[in-house]
Amino acid sequence: MNLDPIDQAVISQGLVASAREMGVKLIRSAYSTILREASDGSAALLDRHGNVVAQAELIPMQLGPLGATFRPCAETVPPDELEEGDFYINNSPFEGGQHLPDVFIFSPIFFDRTLVGFSASVAHHLDLGGGAPGMNPDATDVHQEGLILPPSRYNMERDWNGGPFERLIAANIRVPELTIGDFNAQFAANAIGGERVKQLCARYGAGTIMSVMDSHLTYSERRMRAAIAEIPDGVYHGEDAVDDDGINSKPLPIKAAVTVDGDDVAVDFAGTADQVLLNLNCPFASTVSAALAAVKAVASSPDIPFNQGLAKPITVTAPYGSLLNPKPPAPVRARMIPAFRAFDAVVKALAKAVPDKVIATGFDTTHSICMSRLVDGNYSIYLEIYGGGYGAGPGSDGSDGIDGPLSNCSNIPVESLDQQYDFFRVTEYALRPDSGGRGKFRGGSGLRRRFEILADDVTLGHYSDRYRIAPDGAFGGEPGDLTRTRIIRETGGEIPVASKTSLKLNRGDILVTETSGGGGYGDPAERPAERLRQDFESGLVTPPAAHAAE
Amino acid sequence: MRVGIEVGGTFTDLVAIDRGRVTVAKVPSTPARPDEGALSSLAAADIRLDAIEDLVHGSTVATNAILERKGAKVAFFVTAGFRDLLLLQRHDRKRIYDLFYQKPEPVVGRGDTFEIRERIGADGGIITPLDIEAAKQVVGSALAGGAYDAVAICFLNSYANPDHEERIAGLIRERHPDVFVTYSAEVTREFREYERATTTALSAYVQPVIDSYISRLEAELGSRGFKRNFSIMQSNGGRLPTDGVRRSAITCLYSGPAAGVMGAVRQAGISGFDDIITLDMGGTSTDVCLVRGGKPDLSTETEINGLPVRTPVIDIATIGAGGGSIIWVDDGGMLRVGPESTGADPGPACYGRGGTLPAVTDAHLLRGTLKAEAFVGGRMSLDHGKSRSALTPLAERFGRSLEEMADAALRVADANIVRAIQLVSTERGCDPRDYVLVPFGGAGPLHAARVAEELEIGTVVVPPNAGVLSAFGLLAADFLRYDSYTRHLIVEGDVADEVREIFAAMKGRAVEAFAELGLTDALAFTFTLEMRFVGQAFEIPVTLDETALKDLGVETLLELFVAAHHQMFAFGDAGRQRVEIVSFRLGVSAPPGPVPTLAEGHGMELFTTEGEIFDRGERTGCIVMSRSACEPESEIAGPALVADETSTIYVPGGWTGGPDEHDNLVIRRIG
């Protein structure tokens, strides 16, 4: 069908708006704090082949590979066999999924019995069973991490709303009221997206809508290719490392070779460390997502709509059996950490080609704190993700205390925690002075949070990084400070907490966790006096004289 | 005589109504001194100040103080351990792929934030008592130098128990009577500390600015003989006497768009249209709002400069689409309109002030839907040639004639407006087809009919003097204030009795607060419960009137809530999930006395001619006439252009209508 470019401009906005509305409704009707307050979920519209056409801008990591998560579903039950009320579901890390808590649901959209596309949502579920509430940092295979929902097709009417599939899930998870509520929020978001696409079909015709979807993909691809063409051709290398595997203290290097050739980019992670025993393995779909996000963030304007078309010029490879393409049944819960290092390695490689378009390395870590407690047969689970400082750029300081570039979780209001949890209290939540790397532009400051534990037998699960290897500065900028966590015991004494661990906390214990600041950009000696004055006045940077006096 | 004066960024509008006689004035604003615009509009309309009984004023003073960061120097007091509340914000990014992302900048610096040892729990219980002696030390040393004009106080969980905030506020008011004090529980009693703290800080930041502005204006008006009622417009759609506004300055943000909505509500209402969507399109932006049963929807989730504001305001969606919006093509070859604007200066190319970029106004001129000779009542000349040269590069790129290109750009602009309307209608579970569209502002009436077609809206109602409707809205606005109160209650048992008790207490306090402002007659109340399923975090409002409240029971409450939840999210079942009330909102209003109606001014020349337009790919002849030439009860069949002093109404082919007995021009789609 020959589509008028003006129709394209007018109608594609409708698709983008529908995807955005899905995201809003997903978050607003959710139940768990991780989804409703921290917004750890995403939504998108797909064409009938499973290509992402438009998305709600929520979490980059979850959005990049939606198509890869969709395909194994379509291989299980071909889309032309789907009926009204059916949905696909998938969270399987070795079949296109990411880690188990991120459950992807795809609902077909029919107009006049023709399949026009899919509405999709993904949510991070607070608990999906497994060896420990919320997360099991000790898992040595994926089976210990929770319930695997392999790519499959179910039907709302038959299987959900009290049906067998809903009951199966509810029986295998620890906080079913919240989790089933969050699943319902996903179904509701999908239903809204489907409704909006049907309205567009009714107005413009299903054929036109499908053509608009096609051209929206080529539109993003065209813009992405134009942006890539601006980068000088060449092969660029970048490297970063995960602190350790949680058992030994050896760093796990992540290496990226980025080849820019005209308007194509190839990212290869050859030379990256082998997969490890604990949960730091990154399923390939997550690796692809991280590489795409890095190339998009550096190369293009934020205005280009992210969809499958944008991904077309970019190919990603990683050795099978490595940290970035592990073999089953490797545990993968903390996959964001190697994914962030993959992101960092690609940005560092591109820094050599386009120094004005990059930032120094930031904290770029999923610093997750999970605390849980079983009372009278009911679990209470708290899970929150902390960011830190962003890397500084060529014209601006890094943002202070903000979630990393692959993620975008909000913090949970302390007043919401006070309503929800009675076994701990947050007594400090602050920026961490002097944690950002110095430079002509300063790295963003990390965070500090202090918890007072109010009950015995609290299980702490924690994974993070940057405890040993600090975020690098760029072009003469200094690195950010290291991350650290410690427990001040009621019984006396202070014990350091490792970056990947689980342990017991009791009443009276104090847990203090501090995340890294970002790296600085450019020579600190070139920092303008006015900015230095502001640094000192705010107290985020201590004047050198005060350091000497200590 | 009753007078409304609305000071906008570019123009100051005045509407004066004296025993049915309407006077209208439009004068340029002086951005640095908004009161000058107000005074010069009075002079332009030749109004004697001692003849004014009721003066209502709306201005951008509060908004600009924030946008230009020219507010007060504020000291901020928080719970110990939470000094960085305003900087941490919500830890998220609004543009997820932007590496250089910067957070919105708070209006209070880190160095101006002071910690007080105290802690209240979620249930309002005291966890760490306030040590008033230690607090005196902190407050004393913070305020000793006299560096601050205002103080903001926000303690954790104060929504559940404001005692500590009140005591610190009392302490400061006693020891530093010249400093303005604002504490969070008096601004908004809702949970989520960052949002409440920012709202409080913003309120403290603008309060001294508003206070001194009102004092200055009152003095100037008083010296010219004005001595009657003076009130100020708020963003919730109501007004307050100046003394009331001095105490809650934050409610003045964005009062201009709210005034426009109230003008539209009133003017469409007298013709019997109570379910309306307002479309206010000016030079740089378009504001749209959904009004059900004569009541605009409220929202507690607006923001300014990226900073959240949690006081109830009229739920208006704003997009960057106006007469000055730039027509451009992006690097993917897609035709775009806005959000960048040519602004008032240089403005669209046709203004001939040096602008070379094509804007929406240029497209109208080339398409024929604006006639150079009739623009703003013929008071401003437009240069057709400059529009042609501005749009030519795009026309060549797309291989279209200039007319076709202009037509295409306007379709894209209309689509942008359609999206904004969907945001306040379909996204809220309302079908736009059940509403009539009420356009105003300089460009609203030009776009309304085509936008209505896209949304399958069959009726468009254009008020008289659509270009100064906001100033009229000031006169139409009730006195209004909202109070909120957070209290969790599960909907079961005899919860209805408790609801009635809480509202009775709130009503008592509201009546008292209004009495202090001299408002005691014909008070009306709305009772809103913010409700959700247990476990959810975002509430849905359920509004009751006095009768419904009296007869309320658990069954009715559940039914009302489930219906509202279904309308918004299309799911939810009270049989499977428990329902709770989270907070209470009470609105108290008093009418401003009989509201006069807005009639068409008759300063414009009568004319009816024929012209040509190009629309939706076709060139056709069309009638061009002045609004004053529309005979009462006459029928205008599109295509037609009806020009008045402040705007042009486009009646496309397939539409027909005419003025009704209230001077509204009502056009309907045929078939």
Give the burial class of B163: count Cβ atoms within 10 A of its Cβ; 0-12 exposed, 13-18 middle, 19 or more buried.
middle
Contact A402 B91 (CB under 8 A): yes
A vs B, Cβ pairs < 8 A, gives 201
Paired sense of beta strands A424-432 and A446-453, if any: antiparallel
Q: In terms of CA atoms, which chain A residue is nearest residue B190?
A: A415
Length of chain B: 671
The alpha-carbon gap from B358 to the nearest alpha carbon of chain A, in Å, equals 17
Last residue of a domain, one of A192, A223, A254: A223
Residue B148, domain CATH:
3.40.50
Nearest Cβ partner of A29 from B331, B423, B536? Answer: B536
- Average pLDDT on A431-452 reads 97
Residue A231 lies in a domain: no
Residue B242 in any domain: the answer is no
Domain contains A454: yes
Of the residues A223, A257, A285, the one at which a domain ends = A223
Asked if residue A217 lies in contact with residue A51, where contact means CB atoms within 8 angstroms, the answer is yes
Among B573, B590, B607, residue at a domain's last position: B590
Tokens encoding A501: 């661990």
pLDDT of residue B20: 77
Check: CB of residue A403 under 8 Å from CB of residue A356. Answer: no
Residues of chain B with pLDDT under 50: none
Whole-number Å distance between alpha carbons of B71 and B206: 5
B519 and B451 fall within a common domain: no
pLDDT grade for A550, boundaries at 50, 70 and 90 = very low
For B442, the token pair is 């300089």
pLDDT in tens, A132-175: 998 898 999 999 999 999 999 999 999 999 999 999 999 999 99
Residue A196 lies in a domain: yes
pLDDT at residue A2 in the model: 67
Q: Which of A388, A383, A354 is nearest to A462 (CA)?
A: A383
Q: Is the pTM of this model over 0.90?
A: yes
Query: A401 and B91 in contact by Cβ < 8 A?
Result: yes
Domain coverage including residue A114? 5-223
Structure tokens given for B72: 């007060």
Chain mean pLDDT for chain B: 91
Both B403 and B305 in a single domain? yes
Asked if residue A199 is part of any domain, the answer here is yes
Beta strands in A280-328 (DSSP E): 314-317
CA distance A118 to chain B (A): 18
How far CA B310 is from CA of A250, B197, B236, B314, in Å, comes to 49, 10, 12, 12
Nearest-angstrom CA–CA distance, B642 and A499: 71
The CATH number for B490's domain is 3.30.1490
In this structure, what token pair is assigned to residue B419?
A: 């999206």
Last residue of a domain, one of B453, B473, B493: B473
pLDDT for B329: 93
Query: Domain residues for B558?
Result: 479-590
Q: What are phi and psi of A235, to 5 degrees?
A: -110, 120
Q: How many structural domains comprise chain B?
A: 3
Report the interhelical angle of B360-367 vs B402-424 (nearest 10°): 130
pLDDT of residue A548: 44
**Residue A427 counted as domain residue:** yes
> Which pLDDT value is given to residue A1?
53
* pLDDT above 70 for A490: yes
Q: Do A537 and B111 touch (CB under 8 A)?
A: yes
CA-based nearest distance A97→chain B, Å: 21
List chain A residues with CB under 8 Å of B157: 415, 418
Beta-carbon contacts of B488 under 8 Å, excluding residues fewer than 6 positions away, are B580, B581, B582
Q: How far is A148 from chain B (nearest CA, A)?
A: 25
Q: Are B569 and A29 inside 8 Å of each other by CB? A: yes
The larger pLDDT score, comparing residue A548 to residue A403, is at: A403
> Do residues B595 and B17 lie in contact, with contact meaning Cβ atoms separated by under 8 Å?
no
In a domain, A75, yes or no: yes
SS3 A205: coil
**Residues B157 and B271 occupy one common structural domain:** no
Check whether residue B341 and residue B483 sit in a common domain: no
- Number of domains forming the structure of chain A: 2
Whether omega before B346 lies within 30 degrees of 0, making that bond cis, reads yes
In a domain, B537, yes or no: yes
State the angle between helix axes of A5-28 and A206-229 in degrees (0 to 180), rounded to the nearest 10: 90
Instruction: Tell me what the mean pLDDT of segment A247-264 comes to.
Output: 96
Rounded Cα distance between A456 and A373, Å, is: 9
CB contact under 8 A, A396 and B87: no
User: Under a CB-based contact definition with an 8 Å cutoff, are residues A212 and A202 in contact?
Assistant: no
B403 and B366 in contact (C-beta within 8 Å)?
yes
Strand, helix or coil for residue B512: helix
Q: How many H-runs (helices) and E-runs (strands) does chain B carry? A: 17, 35
Q: Nearest residue of B to residue A194 by CA position?
A: B570
Helix (H) or strand (E) holding B508, with range, is helix B495-516
SS3 (DSSP) at A442: coil
CB-hemisphere CA count at 13 Å for A361? 29
Across the interface, whether the CB atoms of B84 and A430 are under 8 A apart is answered yes
Residues A391-400: tens digit of each pLDDT:
999 999 999 9
Residue in B266, B604, B649 with CA at minimum distance from that of residue B444? B649
Q: Which residues from chain A sit within 8 angstroms of residue B101, using beta carbons?
A: 390, 399, 402
Query: Residue A512: CB partners within 8 Å, gap ≥ 6?
Result: A448, A449, A450, A451, A485, A486, A487, A488
Residue A132: inside a domain, yes or no? yes
Structural domain includes residue B237 = no
Residues B428 and B280 reside in one and the same domain: yes
Of A198, A223, A248, the residue that ends a domain is: A223
**Cβ–Cβ gap B87/A223 under 8 Å:** no
Best of B95, B101, B486 to mutate (most A CBs within 10 Å, chain A) = B101
Contact A428 B122 (CB under 8 A): no
In a domain? residue B651:
no
Which amino acid type is present at position B48? R
Cα-to-chain-centroid distance, residue B130: 39
Q: Which of B337, B338, B356 is nearest to B346 (CA)?
A: B356
B7 is a domain residue: no
Together in a domain, B411 and B536: no
State the DSSP string of B182-210: EEHHHH---S-HHHHHHHHHHHHHHHHHH
Q: How far apart are CA A185 and CA A191, in angstroms?
A: 10
| Paired strand residues for B489 | B581
Give percent above pLDDT 70 in chain A.
Answer: 99
Query: With contacts defined as CB-CB under 8 Å, which chain A residues touch B93?
Result: 399, 402-403, 408
Task: Examine the domain organization and report whether B304 and B428 are in the same domain.
Answer: yes
Considering only CB atoms, B569 lies closest to which of A25, A37, A227, namely A25
Q: Are strands A314-317 and A264-268 parallel, antiparallel or unpaired?
A: parallel
Same domain, B582 and B500: yes
In a domain, A445, yes or no: yes
Q: Are residues B305 and B375 in the same domain?
A: yes
Residue A297: list chain B partners with CB under 8 A: 97-99
Mean pLDDT of A480-497: 94
CA atoms of A182 and A190, how far apart (whole Å):
13
What is the rounded average pLDDT for all residues in chain A? 94
CATH number for the domain that contains residue B367 = 3.30.420
Q: What is the dihedral of CA B595, B636, B651, B667, to 10 degrees?
A: 40
Q: What is the pLDDT of residue A4?
A: 85
B99 and B181 both lie in a single domain: yes
Q: CB of A291 within 8 A of CB of A348?
A: no
* pLDDT tens by residue, A180-201: 999 999 999 999 999 999 999 9
Residue B595 lies in a domain: no
Please tell me which of the candidates B81, B93, B191 has its beta carbon nearest to residue A416.
B191
Domain presence at residue B150: yes
pLDDT of residue B376: 60
Distance from CA of A248 to the nearest CA of B (A): 32
Q: Which of B91, B570, B577 sits opposite A191 (nearest CB)?
A: B570
B520 domain residue, yes or no: yes
CA distance A474 to chain B (A): 14
Tell me the β-bridge partners of B649: B642
In order, the DSSP letters of B472-500 are HHHHHPPEEEEEEEEEEEES-TTHHHHHH
From residue A531, alpha-carbon distances to A439, A478, A536 in Å are 11, 16, 9
Q: Which of A27, A59, A413 sits opposite B194 (nearest CB)?
A: A413
Question: Of B555, B572, B590, which residue is a domain's last?
Answer: B590
Of A12, A296, A450, the CB nearest to B97: A296
Q: How far is B259 from chain A, CA to nearest CA, in Å?
A: 28
Contact check, Cβ <8 Å, A419/B191:
yes
Dist. CA B302–CA B311, nearest whole Å: 8
B420 min Cα distance to partner chain A (Å): 10
